[in-house]
């Protein structure tokens, strides 16, 4: 049972790390889009129309921001899937611990109740 609880803790930690990475990259991407819009607003229409260097620069920004946006979305999806995995593991573990609790006595009962509290059950 301890191995299953350790697996649940590992899944929970992995979800937290994925979620944190998704949030950081999402914020960086949003700031990138704001800076890009500011850059477009500050670039003259003539430069956008006739300057190849300006067009290349804008193209690089767009490409970079699109990749960052795609990676951010992928990380948010992965975090959501990890959250579902953590919840499913917690439900399975809670059911098993409750069954074990019915026949437990003394110190085992206290340990199982502590594990159930950790799982939020």
> Tell me, what's the pLDDT at 1?
72
Angle CA(62)–CA(26)–CA(80) in degrees, nearest 5?
Answer: 125
**What whole-number distance in Å separates Cα of residue 22 and Cα of residue 108?**
40
Per-residue pLDDT of 23-70, as tens digits, reads: 999 999 999 999 999 999 988 888 888 888 989 999 999 999 999 999
Give the model confidence (pLDDT) of 79-108 as tens digits: 999 999 999 998 888 888 888 878 778 778
In this predicted model, which residue has the larger pLDDT, 121 or 10?
10
Q: Is the pLDDT of residue 5 over 90?
A: no
Tell me which of 119 and 9 has the higher pLDDT: 9
At residue 118, the pLDDT reads 85
Q: State pTM to two decimals.
A: 0.76
């Amino acid at each position: 049972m301890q191995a299953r609880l350790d697996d649940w803790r590992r899944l929970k930690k992995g979800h937290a790390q994925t979620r944190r990475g998704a949030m950081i990259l999402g914020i960086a991407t949003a700031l990138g889009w704001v800076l890009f819009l500011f850059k477009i607003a500050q670039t003259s229409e003539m430069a956008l129309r006739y300057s190849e260097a300006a067009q290349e620069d804008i193209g690089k920004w767009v490409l970079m921001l699109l990749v960052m946006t795609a990676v951010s979305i992928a990380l948010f999806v992965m975090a959501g899937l990890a959250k579902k995995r953590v919840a499913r593991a917690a439900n399975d573990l809670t059911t098993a611990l409750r069954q074990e609790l019915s026949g437990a006595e003394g110190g085992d009962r206290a340990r199982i109740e502590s594990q159930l509290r950790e799982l939020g059950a």
